[in-house]
């Protein structure tokens, strides 16, 4: 077959691929640009309140950390390490969302953080944005402790004990988690590839604690994104996994007495008491008892 013949055979496939790519990119443009801009026009700048507060907090902590005493306070408020007690890490994790890494350019991190929080706040709302950011960061923090506890080995899953003295990623895990979560629920493959692919490349190029926590944040966000809008289905699955209750079973014990025993005119009969046969107690009428006493 000639080259022209092969091109003619592939032309319908290429046309379908081009149409699919165009529809996907058009839908992604609407999801990541058009829809948030419409939400911003409807809500105004008040819809970005959380984004401005997060960016201001990062700048604030970064400026304070430039001074020796300020760096001590920043580490005491938001410095999370794996060798700390768990209760202390959980107490500092909310503040660690706004404590940037001192060895990274802060302005690039602020831009990414503002875009992630702005997109999430306009689409999800403030409460869910904070919940997703905190959940992805906390998942990275907790699983990092597990990997350090396992130690080196475990098919590359464990980490050396020295990583326990390193600071956690700070706001970067929340940023990665928000971008990944939004990419999943909005069906934005380009954003998902850029976010998840960059994290995979980072973990391969620089296999450190931050790369592991970023991957954990991506995985957590994917799971949460797949569960988005499926609350009733999740509840049904949970209910199906619960053990069925035993309903309608009477407690163990002797069977109830026959109705004839409770009648005053009934004759004594043998009643099964659970341990053997015993004569039933017959209630005599009050008139009969008085007649006996009169005699």
Q: How far, in Å, CA of 148 to CA of 46, rounded?
A: 42
The range of the structural domain enclosing residue 180 comes to 47-228
Q: Is residue 244 part of a domain?
A: no
Whether 52 and 194 map to the same domain: the answer is: yes
Contact 170, 100 (CB under 8 A): yes
Please give the tally of structural domains in the chain.
2
Contact 132, 177 (CB under 8 A): yes
Whether 149 and 65 map to the same domain: the answer is: yes
Whether 265 and 145 map to the same domain: the answer is: no
Whether 210 and 275 map to the same domain: the answer is: no
Whether 89 and 156 map to the same domain: the answer is: yes
Q: Is residue 81 part of a domain?
A: yes
Whether 152 and 270 map to the same domain: the answer is: no
Please report, for the domain that includes residue 214, its CATH number.
1.20.1540.10
> Three-state SS across the chain?
CCHHHHHHHHHHHHHHHHHHHHHHHHHHHHHHHHHHHHHHHHHHHHHHHHHHHHHHHHHHHHHHCCCHHHHHHHHHHHCCECCCCHHHHHHHHHHHCCCCCCCCCHHHHHHHHHHHHHHHHHHHCHHHHHHHHHHHHHHHHHHHHHHHHHCCCCCCCCCCHHHHHCECCCHHHHHHHHHHHHHHHCCCHHHHHHHHHHHHHHHHHCCCHHHHHHHHHHHHHHHHHHCCCCHHHHHHHHHHHCCCCCCCCCCCCCCCCCHHHHCCCCCCCEEECCCCEEECCCCCCHHHHHHHHHC
Q: How far, in Å, CA of 275 to CA of 293, rounded?
A: 35
Six-digit token pair at 85?
């007690």
Whether 105 and 199 map to the same domain: the answer is: yes
Q: Is residue 98 part of a domain?
A: yes
Q: What is the pLDDT of residue 272?
A: 47
CA distances from 225 to 78, 86, 115, 130 (A): 27, 27, 19, 15
Q: Is residue 140 part of a domain?
A: yes
Q: Is residue 294 part of a domain?
A: no
Q: Mark which of 208, 228, 248 sits at the end of a domain.
A: 228
Q: Mark which of 228, 247, 268 sits at the end of a domain.
A: 228
Q: Is residue 239 part of a domain?
A: no
Q: How far, in Å, CA of 188 to CA of 169, rounded?
A: 25
Whether 153 and 108 map to the same domain: the answer is: yes
Q: Is residue 236 part of a domain?
A: no
Whether 168 and 269 map to the same domain: the answer is: no
Q: What is the pLDDT of residue 185?
A: 92
Q: Which residue ranges in the chain fall short of pLDDT 70?
A: 1-8, 102-107, 154, 156, 230-295
Whether 52 and 149 map to the same domain: the answer is: yes
Q: Is residue 127 part of a domain?
A: yes
Q: What is the pLDDT of residue 138?
A: 92
Q: How far, in Å, CA of 133 to CA of 172, rounded?
A: 10
Whether 72 and 153 map to the same domain: the answer is: yes
Q: Mark which of 228, 246, 273 sits at the end of a domain.
A: 228
pLDDT tens-digit readout, 102-133: 666 666 778 889 999 999 999 999 999 999 99
Whether 164 and 66 map to the same domain: the answer is: yes
């Amino acid at each position: 077959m000639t080259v022209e013949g092969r091109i003619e055979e592939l032309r319908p496939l290429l046309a379908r691929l081009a149409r699919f790519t165009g529809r996907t990119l058009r839908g992604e443009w609407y999801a990541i640009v058009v829809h948030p801009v419409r939400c911003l026009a409807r809500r105004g700048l008040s819809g970005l309140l959380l984004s401005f507060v997060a960016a201001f907090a990062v700048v604030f902590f970064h400026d304070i950390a430039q001074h020796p005493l300020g760096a001590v306070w920043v580490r005491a408020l938001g410095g999370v390490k794996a060798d700390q007690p768990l209760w202390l890490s959980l107490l500092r994790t909310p503040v660690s969302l706004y404590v940037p890494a001192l060895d990274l350019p802060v302005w690039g991190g602020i831009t990414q953080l503002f875009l992630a929080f702005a997109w999430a706040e306009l689409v999800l709302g403030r409460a869910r944005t904070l919940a997703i950011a905190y959940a992805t960061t906390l998942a990275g923090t907790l699983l990092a402790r597990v990997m350090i506890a396992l130690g080196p080995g475990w098919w590359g899953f464990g980490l050396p004990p020295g990583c326990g003295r390193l600071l956690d990623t700070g706001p970067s895990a929340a940023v990665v988690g928000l971008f990944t979560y939004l990419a999943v629920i909005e069906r934005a493959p380009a954003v998902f590839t850029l976010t998840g692919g960059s994290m995979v490349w980072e973990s391969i190029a620089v296999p450190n604690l931050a790369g592991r926590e970023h991957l954990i944040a991506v995985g957590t966000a994917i799971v949460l994104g797949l569960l988005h809008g499926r609350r009733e289905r999740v509840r049904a699955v949970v209910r199906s996994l619960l053990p069925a209750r035993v309903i309608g079973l009477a407690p163990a014990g002797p069977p109830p007495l026959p109705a004839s025993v409770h009648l005053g005119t009934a004759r004594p009969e043998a009643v099964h008491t659970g341990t053997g046969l015993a004569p039933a107690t017959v209630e005599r009428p009050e008139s009969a008892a008085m007649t006996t006493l009169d005699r």
